[in-house]
């Protein structure tokens, strides 16, 4: 649950920072900070210390496989941000929005990796696919 809530909140924070901040070069560092926080929060949940204890009525189960898969996805995204974050700054004025969309995709990945009902699978796939349509367009 840590990864779902934290990635969605960090995506919203990045969108608002895109409005406030005029300096595009700091977007990469804010995104990297968010990824480090996401990895730490995921490992804390793996250790049995979740930040958020929300009753999902059995629709999500955060087991070892899902948390390990999330960690691999988050570390891969962190490496991607570190390697190509400066290239993303050359895309245009909406650099913060691109990073925010990636955080929303990670929110969907965290839902899909821990679903227990088909409804949550559908919601997770939708949360993954809509930002990807925007990024690809």
Q: Give per-residue pLDDT as tens, 53-97.
A: 888 899 999 999 999 999 999 999 999 999 988 888 887 778 999
Beta partners for residue 52, in sequence order: none
Report how far residue 35's alpha carbon sits from residue 44's, in angstroms, rounded to the nearest whole number: 14
Which residues are 115's β-sheet partners? 60
Q: Dihedral of the CA atoms 95, 82, 6, 61 (nearest 10)?
A: 130
> H or E element: which one contains 35?
helix 26-46
What crossing angle do the helices spanning 2-20 and 26-46 adopt, rounded to 10°? Answer: 170
Q: What is the pTM of this model?
A: 0.93
Does residue 24 register a pLDDT over 90? no
Q: Which of 50-54, 104-108, 132-136 has the highest mean pLDDT?
A: 104-108
């Amino acid at each position: 649950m840590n990864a779902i809530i934290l990635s969605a909140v960090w995506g919203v924070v990045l969108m608002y920072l895109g409005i406030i901040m005029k300096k595009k070069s700091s977007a990469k560092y804010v995104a990297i900070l968010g990824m480090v926080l996401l990895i730490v929060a995921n490992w804390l949940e793996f250790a049995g210390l979740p930040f958020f204890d929300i009753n999902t009525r059995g629709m999500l189960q955060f087991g070892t496989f899902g948390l390990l898969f999330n960690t691999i996805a988050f570390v891969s995204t962190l490496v991607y941000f570190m390697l190509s974050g400066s290239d993303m700054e050359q895309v245009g004025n909406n650099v913060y929005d691109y990073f925010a969309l990636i955080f929303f995709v990670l929110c969907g990945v965290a839902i899909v990796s821990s679903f227990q009902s088909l409804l949550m699978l559908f919601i997770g796939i939708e949360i993954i696919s809509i930002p990807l349509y925007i990024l690809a367009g």
